[in-house]
Structure 1
Amino acid sequence: MSAARYAVFGQPIAHSQSPRIHAAFGEAEGIAVDYRAIEATPAAFAAALEAFAADGGVGANVTLPHKEAAFALCATRTSRAQRAGAVNTLLRKGQAWHGDNTDGAGLVRDLTARHGLDLRGRRVLLLGAGGAARGVAPALLDAGILELVVANRTPERADALVDAMGEPGRALSAYWDALREQGDFELIINATAAGRGDGAGFSLPLSLVNSLTTAVDLNYGEAAIPFLAWARAAACRNSFDGLGMLVEQAAESFQQWHGVRPRTDDVYAALRARDALLVTAD
């Protein structure tokens, strides 16, 4: 029988810091960890996941573009995964997968514990309505924000996410092309791939920003550069990438798999020191 294995699935996946993070967690906690990155196309994801399980895979993280597909492949799910309609953490139970979503918990912990933000009473603009956005939306509402406005270039996707939240009047959708009509926000979160790798940059109305605005990209590394450049040009008070969220959601996954929640500050600091360009949640 193969040794217990763990992995992160995505496309692309070569950039992923998850193997390094889980190796560091394991070393700090004295736990041997076999964790690797597996690239799979959307069409091949289900088969790749089953092959992984057959080869001793007992736990996995899931990143773009597979989070909603992973949700559909789970036999059981946590309440937060059910509410999000997306899964980023898998645990093998018997012959089936159990799904959770640790993205939202990771983002809220990063923003509040690491960066000292008080999310209560804030108006929040969430850009995007895919798996990453679905993962963080419920946790933001639970953290006490005043209002969540979701904007997506395909309006129907934003409407579906808002409907899934079940909080009419507090979770709202907006047309991307009419964002300048939405007023300003204390928190703007990019959960899209807009501007990634196309050289086109990232553009939003400056009217979205006020003197307290924090801008957060759920991407990290080069993928976060366009949005963070816009945030600096717009004079946002703070701007962060998704590396901290990545580390915190990984710690949540690690705890589910190994029974202990690792400390995260040293791992986060080491990743920052290793590469100053690390600036999305896996």
Structure 2
Amino acid sequence: MTDRYAVFGNPIAHSLSPKIHAFFAKDTGEELSYEPILVPEGRFKETAREFFCDGKGCNVTVPCKLDAYDFADILTPYAEAAGAVNTLKKLENGRIEGDNTDGRGLTADLKRLGVKLDGAKILVMGAGGAARGIIRPLLDESVALVTVVNRTFEKAKKLAEHFGVQACSYEDLSANYNVIINATSTSLNGTLPPLADEILSKASFAYDLMYKPNGETTFTKKALEKGCTKVADGFGMLIMQAALSFELWRGVKPDVTKAISYFRAC
């Protein structure tokens, strides 16, 4: 019987995950099925239990990542740090392992893009789930500094204290960062975080966790206009975190460079 995988969410019809994992499977010669599963509101546990009667693993997207965290029998250190799960795997003993590959997907993509993380000073804009999911993997790369900034300073402070990093208000930021990461959702509605132009102009790299088909978000466009040396949207991170899930399930590393080139051209 073909091994069964899926992505859970609500809404879910828009998800690229089925196409990405179909590409990985074909490219690596792995035989599997991968389907989108719409999770009715408040029914994650029941939906997941039914799936894992014969399912091997699944990805989890909004708004189900906290539900997946609660559902998992055991958690990886990355899932524990993020407080959320985006990947579930059924182990040989029947227990369900929860992992979070988002942050490692980001650091892998930054390395692919030639960003030097060792000793880097990094500014993370946003204090929600997206920001929480990337800080631990960034710290694992021996960065010199991580500062969390948010419109609501108390949220930034709470998140920063959890990871032992700095928090700051937008008003008090200094222009002293190599890498600026937009972990807010502002690019989804075409707006921008209230970041001073001077900070963007002195950064060498700006990264938006959101992505657009043409690779340009509101934030990356602004960063280039203000003199930031290099920018990227989060499409590479999307592919990288999916590849990490695939490897967790199948023990095979997909060719992420080939996948990024293929889907960017679609």
Q: Same fold by TM-score, threshold 0.5 exceeded?
A: yes
**Amino acid in the other structure paired with 2:6:** A
Contact 2:188 2:210 in 1 (8 A): no
- 2:246 counterpart of 1:266: no
Relative to structure 2, which stretch is displaced further, 156-165 or 219-228?
Answer: 219-228
The answer to whether the 8 Å contact 1:195/1:226 transfers is yes
C-alpha displacement at 1:42, in angstroms?
5.5
Q: Is the 8 A contact 2:180 2:203 kept in 1?
A: no
Asked if the contact 2:6–2:34 (Cα under 8 Å) also holds between the matched residues in 1, the reply is: yes
1:277: which partner in 2? none
Which residue, out of 149, 168, 178, partners 1:174?
A: 168
Secondary structure, in 3 states, of the residue corresponding to 1:207? helix
**How many residue pairs get matched?**
263
The worse-fitting range, judged by mean Cα deviation, of 179-188 and 137-146 is: 179-188
Residue 111 of structure 1: aligned partner: 110
Partner of 2:122: 124
Q: Determine if the alignment matches structure 1 residue 31 to structure 2 residue 30.
A: yes
Distance (Å, rounded) in 2 between the aligned partners of 1:149 and 1:5: 41
CA distance in 2, matches of 1:96, 1:130: 29
Would you say the 8 A contact 1:195–1:202 is kept in 2?
no
Q: Is 1:236 aligned to 2:236, yes or no? A: no
Q: Quick one: structure 1 residues 65 and 100, their matched pair in 2 at CA, closer, same or farther if it must change by over 3 Å? A: same
Q: Are residues 208 and 11 of structure 1, via their aligned partners in 2, closer, same or farther at CA, if it must alter by over 3 Å?
A: farther
Aligned to 2:178: 186
8 Å contact kept, 1:87–1:135:
no
Measured after TM superposition, the shift of residue 191 of structure 1 is 1.5
C-alpha distance in structure 2 between counterparts of 1:69 and 1:152, whole Å: 25
* Residues 133-191 of structure 1 deviation map (CA, whole Å, 9 limit, x = unaligned): 222111111112111111234444433322322x3xxx11223xxx1421122111112
Name the counterpart of 2:60: 62
Aligned to 2:42, what secondary structure does the other structure show? Answer: helix
5 Å-filtered alignment, 1:111-260, equals 111-112=110-111, 114-165=112-163, 167=164, 171-175=165-169, 179-184=170-175, 185-197=177-189, 199-200=190-191, 203-221=194-212, 225-260=217-252
1:65 match: secondary structure:
coil
Unpaired segments ≥5 residues, structure 2:
none
**Gaps spanning 5+ residues in structure 1: where?**
275-282
CA offsets 1:59-113 (integer angstroms, 9 cap, x no match): 111223332332222110112221222221111235542111112221111111x
- CA 1:213 to 1:12, structure 2 compared with 1: closer, same or farther past 3 Å? farther
- CA offsets, 1:41-61, max 9 Å, x none? 66333333233224x222111
Q: TM-score, normalised by structure 2?
A: 0.88
What CA distance in whole angstroms lies between the structure 2 residues aligned with 1:82 and 1:59?
Answer: 19
User: RMSD over aligned Cα, in angstroms?
Assistant: 2.3
Mark the CA change 1:240 to 1:22 in structure 2 (over 3 Å): closer, same or farther. Answer: same
Partners of 2:120 and 2:178 within 8 A in 1 = yes
Aligned partner letter, 1:145:
V
> Does the 8 Å CA contact 1:180/1:208 hold for their aligned counterparts?
no
16-25 vs 91-100, greater mean Cα deviation: 91-100
The structure-2 alpha-carbon separation of the partners of 1:65 and 1:237, relative to structure 1 and needing over 3 Å to count, comes to farther
